[in-house]
Amino acid sequence: MASRVAGRHWDPSQLPTAYRNESKVPYLLSVHGILFVIAVIVLLLRVYVRYFMLVGLSVDDYVMLAAGACSIAMLVTFIDETKNGLGRHWLAIPYEQMERFALFAWVSSLFVVTGVNLVKISIGLFLLRVTQTQRWRKFIIFMIVFLILIIITFLGTLIFQCIPVEAAWKYDMRPAAKCFSSETYIAIGIFNNCEQIYPRRGILEPH
């Protein structure tokens, strides 16, 4: 069956068999799976120690658990993406699979933005419990509020990246839709890498 994206048409069945069958899926699943297992083990150990050996779970632990839930959702969407084209040549993907892949990639991006920033917020909440100076406490609170606003802003940008929203994964709707340019996503990525919360020596210094 011929595939089509934004006016382009091609027939994947006409491509060489080796090209169509070439896949990085096993490698991608292995790397993603290993990192996921490591992250889950670390998270469970943290919860076990805090709940059974110390004073119990704190707000930062619950926020980290929420980030862990986002990680699980990301794994589910990632697996479905590999079933629908991720790790294969773009031209070898039938249109029906490409549309489903784009849908799950769109959903996954929402969990990525939320999960990554929840980790940062959890770190900030932890630092609030150990910092000894009022100046740094105010700074950390400011950064936590800032990160919450970042989550809301980025989610809004990703959800409404195209009007109508379905055009984000339905390529046939793209010509008539209004979508953000690729430069917008590059700017978001750069900004997301810049707004980190870094523990500094001054945070732990006494008055």
Residue 5, domain member (yes or no)? no
Q: What is the number of structural domains in the chain?
A: 1
Position 155 scores a pLDDT of: 92
Q: Are the C-beta atoms of 98 and 85 separated by less than 8 Å?
A: yes
Do you know the residue count of the chain?
A: 207
pLDDT at 5: 53
Q: Region 68-95: what's the mean pLDDT?
A: 89
Angle subtended at Cα 38 by Cα 129 and Cα 128, rounded to the nearest 5 degrees: 10
The yes-or-no verdict on residue 137 having pLDDT over 70 is yes
Asked if 141 and 128 touch (Cβ cutoff 8 Å), the reply is: yes
Average the pLDDT over 90-94 and give the result: 82
- Helices of type H across 2-94: 17-21, 25-48, 59-83
Residue 6 placed within a domain: no
Res 199: pLDDT: 45
Domain assignment of residue 165, given as a range? 15-200
Is pLDDT of 144 > 80?
A: yes
**Average pLDDT for residues 163-190, to the nearest whole number?**
83
Residue 146 in any domain: the answer is: yes
Percent of all residues in the chain with a pLDDT value above 70, rounded to a whole number: 87
46 assigned to some structural domain? yes
Kindly state whether residue 1 falls inside one of the protein's structural domains: no
**Average of per-residue pLDDT values in the chain:** 84
pLDDT at 89: 85
Q: What is the per-residue pLDDT for 17?
A: 81
Give the C-alpha separation, 98 to 5, whole Å. 9
Task: For residue 164, say if its preceding peptide bond is cis, omega within 30 degrees of 0.
Answer: yes
